[in-house]
Amino acid sequence: MKVSFVFFTDPPRPFSSSVAQLAAVVRAAGHEASALEVGREERIVDAARRLEAEAADVVAISSMTRDWPGAAGLLRELESDAFVVVGGYHATMAPRDVALSPRVDAICIGEGERPLAALLDRLSTGTLDASLPGLWLRADAGFADAPPAADPEPVIDALPRWDYEIFGDVRELLGRGINTFGPHVDGYLPVRASRGCPFTCAYCSAPRWGKVLGLSDARMKNVRDVSALCEELADLRDRYAPEGFEFWDEHFPIPLAWLEAFARAYPRRVGLPFKVEMHPNAATRPRLELLAEAGCVLFHCGVEAGDEALRRDVLDRRSSDARLEQLFADCRELGLPTSASLMTMLPTETRAQAHSTVSLLRKLRPGSIIWSTYQPLPGTVLGEAAVEAWPGPARETFDDYDDLVSRTPADMTELERGETFHELATLQNELVTAAGQAPPRPLDRPTGKRAPSEGLLALLGLGAVRVRSARLDPSGLILELAADSFEPREIVLAPLEEGARHYRRAQHLGLSYRGKDAPRALLDCLDAMALRLASATFAEVCAAL
C-alpha cells in the first residue's frame, strides 16, 4: 500500500518530525510512503490536485489547530478514493471537530506509530471493521461511539529511526536550512531525545497531550537511552555530514543523571555542536554547565511575555524576571549563545504589557528571538475558555484562518497591535544584524492578515476592486487588491512623512504599490483612493479595520 503524508509549514521548511517517524513505521511494515509539504499561502485546490497525483491508497494528514481549516478544505476538494486518516495535536485535542469532515475515515488519538501500523495491517487484510486503540473509525452512522484511548509507544527506543530521505536528498535539505532555532540558515539536522514536557502552561497543548498518553505512567520510557541516542547520532553524522544537531524535544531531558551521562558520552561518540530548548525554571546552573560541557552551542527558552504578572496569572508561566535575568546571565558566563520565543496578542494583554516584553528582551539580550501571535488551542486552559474563537473553515488558501479570527486582545486597539509588531520587528532585525553575516533563515513573523471590515470598505470606496486582505506591519497598512483587470497586488497606506517616496499623497497619508511597476487599472484605483482619503488620518483608517 502507498501512504501519502500531508504536512503544513510556515515559513517553508521541507521537514516534519511526525512524518519522519511515521514514514519509518510505514516502511518497516513493508509499505510505500511519500510526503507532501503544503505552504500556508498555497491555494487549496492546487494542493488537492498535487495530492491526487500521488495516487495513494492512504492519505495521512498531520495537523495542528491552525492547519485544520485548510486541511478540511483540502479534503473537500480531494477527488480520490484514498482512505483518509487525520492525526496530530488537533485531532487528539478536538477529535469531534475533525469528525465533522465527511471525508475523514479515521482519526488518530495521541501518538500515531502503533495505530498507523495496525490500520495498515487491517486495511491490507480487509479486516478493519471497528475502532482500534488510538484509532477512531468512522462507522455507517459516522463517528457515533466515543473516541478510543490512545495507544502510545511505551519504549520510544523501540521505534524505527526517523526516515529523513522521504523529504528528498538530505544533504540538499541541510543546505536549504530546516533549522528552527537561531537567526540564520544552517545545516543542523533535527533529532529528538525525548517526548513530553513536565510543565503545565495554560496556553500549551503539551499538558493535555501528556495526560492522553499517560506519560506519567512508570511503564513509559519517554526519554531515550543515552548510549542508543549517541549511536544513532553518530550514524547520522557519518551518513549526512550535518553541521550539528537541533533537538526538537518539547523539553530537553532534565534528570541530572541523564545529563551527566550525556555530557560524558556525546563529545566522545558524536562530537558535533547541538541546540536544545528548555523551560527557564529547569535551566539551573548545573544543567547549563552540563550542556556546555557536552557541546551545546545554542540554548533556547520561552520568555513568552515581558509582564511578570501576565506570565504568572494568565499563562501559568511561573518564571520571574529575576529568574530569567539569572538564566541569561549564566548562559553568557558559560559562553552559551541564546535565543528566546515570545507570543503577542495574549488574552488580557495591553499595549503597555506588550511594550514590557521588548523592554525585558533588551535586558536579557538573547542572540535572537522567535515571535508569534497567540491562538487559543483546544485542550488548553486558555483555549477551552475561548472555544468560539477557534478558526473557521478556510476558503481559498491555507492561511485564510487569519481572515476569520480576530487576534487583537480586547484591551488593545488595532493601531496598538501594529505598534507592537513594529517594535518587535525592529528588535528582531537588530538581533539578526548583530548575529553576523550568515544569511537569515525565514523567520516566523505574524502577519496579522485579516478580511477587511465593512467600515474599511466603506471608507475606501473601491467599487469593483476587491480588498482580499488587510494587515498592519512596520511599513504601514498593507491591502491586497484584486480586480478583473489586474492580478492581486499589494498596496501600502502609511502616515505621510517628509522625504518618504509615495506614488500618491493625501493630506495625511501616502499611498504606494509594491513591485517595480503597476498596471494602469491599479494606478487609477490608487488615484481614486487618494481622493477618497483626502483628509483621513492613518489612525482613522486603522480604526476602521
pLDDT at residue 487, as a whole number: 86
Query: In 10 A of CB 384, how many CB atoms?
Result: 14
C-alpha to C-alpha distance for 149 and 144, rounded to whole angstroms:
15
| pLDDT tens series, the chain, 545 aa | 999 999 998 877 899 999 999 999 999 999 999 999 998 878 999 999 999 999 999 999 999 988 999 999 999 999 999 999 999 999 999 999 999 999 999 999 999 999 999 999 999 999 999 999 999 999 999 999 999 999 999 999 999 999 999 999 999 999 888 888 887 889 999 999 999 999 999 999 999 999 999 887 766 779 999 999 999 999 999 999 999 999 999 999 999 999 999 999 999 999 999 999 999 999 999 999 999 999 999 999 999 999 999 999 999 999 999 999 999 999 999 999 999 999 999 999 999 999 999 999 999 999 999 888 888 889 999 988 776 666 677 777 777 665 545 567 888 887 788 788 878 878 887 887 776 655 555 555 555 566 777 888 889 988 889 888 888 776 788 899 988 888 889 999 988 877 778 889 999 999 999 887 889 999 999 999 999 999 998 888 887 87
Cβ neighbours for 42, distance < 8 A, ≥ 6 positions apart = 397, 398
Among 494, 493, 492, 488, CA closest to 519 = 488
DSSP 346-395: -TT--HHHHHHHHHHHHHH--S-EEEEE----TTSHHHHTTGGGS-----
Dihedral sign (CA 132, 133, 139, 145): positive
Cβ neighbours for 241, distance < 8 A, ≥ 6 positions apart = 171
Rounded to 5 degrees, φ, ψ at 201 are -60, 140
pLDDT at residue 386, as a whole number: 72
- For 297-332, the pLDDT digits (tens) are 999 999 999 999 999 999 999 999 999 999 999 999
134 three-state secondary structure: coil
Among 93, 185, 118, CA closest to 378 = 93
pLDDT at residue 184, as a whole number: 80
269 three-state secondary structure: helix
pLDDT at residue 402, as a whole number: 55
Cβ–Cβ < 8 Å for 148, 131: yes
Cβ–Cβ < 8 Å for 521, 486: yes
272 three-state secondary structure: coil
pLDDT at residue 350, as a whole number: 95
> What single-letter DSSP state applies at residue 178?
-
- For 360-377, the pLDDT digits (tens) are 999 999 999 988 888 888
Query: Grid coordinates in use for 121?
Result: 495491517
> What single-letter DSSP state applies at residue 308?
H
pLDDT at residue 272, as a whole number: 98
Query: In 10 A of CB 130, how many CB atoms?
Result: 11
By DSSP bridging, strand 106-108 and strand 83-87 are: parallel
Sheet with 504-505: list strands edge to edge.
466-473, 476-483, 486-495, 509-513, 504-505
Cβ–Cβ < 8 Å for 431, 368: yes
C-alpha to C-alpha distance for 489 and 521, rounded to whole angstroms:
11
Among 396, 485, 416, 414, CA closest to 452 = 414
Cross-strand bridge partners of residue 371 = 342
Query: Grid coordinates in use for 458?
Result: 466603506
CA 533 to chain centre: 37
pLDDT at residue 397, as a whole number: 77
Total number of residues shown for the chain: 545
Query: Grid coordinates in use for 362?
Result: 533588551
pLDDT at residue 404, as a whole number: 47
∠ CA 323-326-332, nearest 5°, is: 145
Query: Grid coordinates in use for 225?
Result: 537511552
pLDDT at residue 108, as a whole number: 98
Cross-strand bridge partners of residue 227 = none
Burial class from Cβ neighbours inside 10 Å (0-12, 13-18, 19+) for residue 30 reads: exposed
Cβ–Cβ < 8 Å for 134, 88: no
Query: Grid coordinates in use for 406?
Result: 480576530
User: Helices (DSSP H) in 378-466: which residue ranges?
Assistant: 381-384, 401-404, 414-434, 454-460
Q: How far is CA 368 from CA 176, 181, 299, in A?
A: 20, 8, 11
> What single-letter DSSP state applies at residue 11?
S
Q: Given the C-alpha cell 555542536, which residue does it identify?
A: 273
What one-letter code names the amino acid at 331? C
Rounded to 5 degrees, φ, ψ at 107 are -125, 125
